Amino acid sequence: MPGFLDDLLSNPALTTALWPALVETLLMVGIAGVATVVIGLPLGVVLFVTQPGGMAANRAVSVVLSGIIVNITRSVPYAILMVSLMPFTRFIVGTSIGPLAASVSLTIACVPFFARLVESGLRDVQPGKVDAAHAMGSTRAQTVWKVMLPEAMPSLVASVTTTLVTLIGYSAMAGLIGGGGLGRLAYNYGYQRFQPEVMLVVLVILVLFVQVVQLVGEAVVRRVDHR
Amino acid sequence: MIAVKDLKKVYHQANREIRALDGVTLEVPDDSVHGVIGQSGAGKSTLVRCLALLDRPTSGTVEINGVDLAHVRSSDLRRARRRLGVVFQHANLFDSRTIADNVAYPLELAGVERRERAAKVTELLGLVGLGDAAAAHPAQLSGGQRQRVGIARALATDPDVLLCDEPTSALDPRTTDEILDLIADIKARLGLAVLVITHEMHVVKRICDSVSLLEAGLVVESGPLAGVVGRLGGRLSEMLLQLPPAAPLPATLGATLEVLDTTQPGDTAALTAAERHFDADLPVLAGTVEHLDGTTFSRMRVLVPPSLDPAVVVSHLKGLGAESTISAPSIDEVA
């Protein structure tokens, strides 16, 4: 057993390749996570307010955003989306490989997912609170910004957590197709070089990563939840 | 003062026209409480939504101190809304904000400065008896306390009119009375016109000066409380002075009368006077007594013995100031 452990600890896959791979994964998840929230939050709000019967009901916007863009993007499997986005990625970041390039497709895959979670979070705000906000003379923007988003905060934080966990999963997949990171490490060493122990280590790291994200997310929810 | 004139709201649903409000007219002067009572489906919710300007009425006007809110532009509407405070059934506080920040919300919208806001919030929380709850969150308060915060919030912009939508329907009887007394107290102190929409007779009895009965989108009865209660056979009178259902009696025992007596303190009850006059017992089979505005209203079901002509008793009671009618014949006579 000590022999196995020595082998493992002296394996260059772990001594030299693991750290950069971990950084790449963190980079991908970090960039895509921030971009997803920045784009997905307003998109979720727009989906909510433009739906039929919504605060700013707009059939055309609702059909295009919700019915076409979000639903279609969500029905394309990530691996396929990633490959098909390569020309677009090259146009945006100049290359189609590496963590930065992977962040583009990760963001595009996760924005509709997160936007839907935001939309349903807003839908769960009691209509009475929205009535109260209007009756006191709030504009629609004030109602969304000062009432609905704060009231939906626990659910929004939970949605960010869920989205990050999804992103971690996708990022490993992105590694296979040039994204780099832990996914590529596991594939190159664990699969192609028949080193299942490397695969196992990557697996453990990913599990720990998800656990940490989930725990932190739940702690923040408890902090912001006054219900 | 708030004046509602010929308010109509028509919804279109799958080619069907639903007249939720079919011409409601109401007037509530300053320093008074008007109750609108109705069963579910009568149009109460629609009335509240139209008065709170959450829905635009199809036609008609809602005037507060002469300004028609139903027809101002949306930009002016937000300013006009500050003249009207709304208290909701479930308080509808914002859980993410502290009690103080909930009360401060309308002041934030009005652009009141932070320091001035804090002073006003302290004053309002004192007014509703929750001075020490400022830093708490709504979830930490009881239902009654939450409703107090809702009232404080509704008063934040110094409105002229307070609109209360079923303010106590979610509360237990004791808390209900506390909240109703608070509303009456605030009305007296601030000279507000208060409109209370409710399905509970108790609310009307306890705090209303006048009352309207809403049915199928129409006000079918309206007037000062003493006026509507003293009208024998009136719907509101029946609702406010409810008698248990009459048990069938054999006709040989005599006829039954429904009597409504209105007395001031010190007056002799008309029934007692009649018993002396006829030198006969007029047994009370059922009765309800309410004291409203210093007047006592007694509604009774009375048995008139066969030795007396019920019509003579009716006219004698009328001479004594009590309205009465002969009830429907008992089942024996029908058979």
Judged against a pLDDT cut of 80, whether residue B331 lies above it is answered with no
Question: The pTM is what?
Answer: 0.86
State whether residue A135 sits within 8 Å of chain B by CB: yes
User: In the numeric block, which tokens belong to residue A45?
Assistant: 């709000």
Q: How far is A224 from chain B (nearest CA, A)?
A: 8
Contact A147 B81 (CB under 8 A): no
CATH of B2-236 among 3.90.550.10, 3.40.50.300, 3.40.50.1820, 1.10.3720.10: 3.40.50.300
Cβ–Cβ below 8 Å for B95 and A147: no
Q: Do B86 and A135 touch (CB under 8 A)?
A: yes
- In the predicted model, what is the mean pLDDT of chain A? 90
A224 to chain B, any CB pair closer than 8 A? The answer is: yes
> Buried b / exposed e across B47-83, counting CB within 10 Å, b at 16+?
bbbbbbbebebeebbbbbeeeebbeeeeeebbebbbb
CATH numbers and ranges of domains, chain A: 24-181 (1.10.3720.10)
Rounded distance between C-alpha atoms, residue B4 and residue A154, angstroms: 42
Per-residue pLDDT tens for B239-280?
889 888 887 778 788 888 999 998 888 888 888 999 999 999
Helix spans in chain B (H): 44-51, 74-80, 99-109, 114-127, 143-154, 173-190, 201-207, 225-229, 235-240, 270-278, 310-319, 331-334
**pLDDT given for residue B89 in this prediction:** 92
Read off the pLDDT of residues A143-182 as tens digits, 9 standing for 90 and up.
Answer: 999 999 999 999 999 999 999 999 998 988 888 777 788 8
Integer Cα distance of B157 and B152 in angstroms:
10
Name the DSSP class of B186: H
User: CB neighbours of B196 closer than 8 A, spacing ≥ 6?
Assistant: B33, B34, B35, B36, B164, B167, B183, B203, B204, B207, B208
**DSSP per-residue string spanning chain A:** -HHHHHHHHH-HHHHTSHHHHHHHHHHHHHHHHHHHHHHHHHHHHHHHHHSTTSTT--HHHHIIIIIIIIHHHHHS-HHHHHHHTHHHHHHHHS-SSSHHHHHHHHHHHHHHHHHHHHHHHHHTS-HHHHHHHHHTT--HHHIIIIIIHHHTHHHHHHHHHHHHHHHHHHHHHHIIIII-SHHHHIIIIIIIT--HHHHHHHHHHHHHHHHHHHHHHHHHHHHH---
Higher-confidence residue of A182 and B214: namely B214
Chain A residues within 8 A of B153 when measuring between CB atoms: 136
> How sure is the predictor about B73, in pLDDT bands with cuts at 50, 70 and 90?
confident
Torsion-angle region of B18 (φ positive above 0: left; ψ -120 to 50: alpha; else: beta): beta
CB contact residues (below 8 A), chain A span 70-99, against chain B:
none
The tokens for A82 are 């990633």
- Distance of alpha carbon A24 from alpha carbon B298, whole angstroms: 86
Residue A224: list chain B partners with CB under 8 A: 96
Least confident stretch, A9-18, A144-153, B52-61, B296-305: A9-18
Query: Are the beta carbons of B305 and B254 closer than 8 angstroms?
Result: yes
| Chain B residues contacting A via beta carbons under 8 Å | 52-54, 77-79, 81-82, 84, 86, 88, 90, 92-97, 105-106, 108-110, 137-139, 153, 157
- Set of chain B residues whose Cβ sits within 8 Å of the Cβ of A138: 78, 109
Q: Which residues in A lie closer than 8 A to residue B95 (C-beta atoms)?
A: 151, 226-227
Contact A136 B106 (CB under 8 A): yes
The CATH code of domain B246-334 reads: 3.30.70.260
pLDDT in tens, A204-214: 999 999 999 99
Place of tokens 């279609």: A72
pLDDT tens readout for residues A92-108 = 888 888 888 889 999 99
Counting runs of H as helices and runs of E as strands, what totals does chain B give?
Answer: 12, 14
Of B78, B92, B157, the CB nearest to A129: B92
Q: Which residues contact A53 (CB under 8 A, 6 or more apart)?
A: none
pLDDT at residue number B333:
47
Beta bridge partners, B2, equal B28, B64
* Least confident range of A94-98, A154-158, B8-12, B74-78: B74-78
Dihedral, CA of residue A119, residue A124, residue A130 and residue A131, to nearest 10: 130
Q: What's the mean pLDDT in A50-68?
A: 90
Identify the pLDDT of residue A186.
Answer: 82
Q: Which pLDDT belongs to residue A97?
A: 83
The Cα–Cα gap between B30 and B33 comes to 8
Neighbouring CB atoms inside 10 A of A207's CB total 11
Q: Does the pLDDT of residue A128 top 50, yes or no?
A: yes
Locate the domains of chain B by residue range. Answer: 2-236, 246-334
Q: What is the DSSP string of B271-322?
A: HHHHHHHHTS---EEEEEEEEETTEEEEEEEEEEPTTS-HHHHHHHHHHTTE
- Say yes or no to pLDDT of B321 above 80: yes
Chain B nearest CA to A171, separation (Å): 34
Q: Would the pLDDT of A70 be above 80? A: yes
- Give me the total of CB pairs closer than 8 Å, taking one residue from chain A and one from chain B: 60
Q: So what's the ipTM on this one?
A: 0.85
B139 contacts in A (CB within 8 Å)? 226-227
- pLDDT (tens digit per residue) in B100-143: 999 999 999 999 999 999 999 999 999 999 999 999 999 999 99
Estimate to the nearest angstrom the gap between the alpha carbon of B186 and the chain centroid. 16
* Mean pLDDT (whole number) for A29-49: 96
Looking at residue B334, what is its pLDDT? 44
Question: With contact defined as beta carbons under 8 Å apart, do B209 and B227 qualify?
Answer: no
Question: Alpha carbon of B271 to those of A191, B263, B280, B319: distances in Å?
Answer: 103, 11, 11, 11
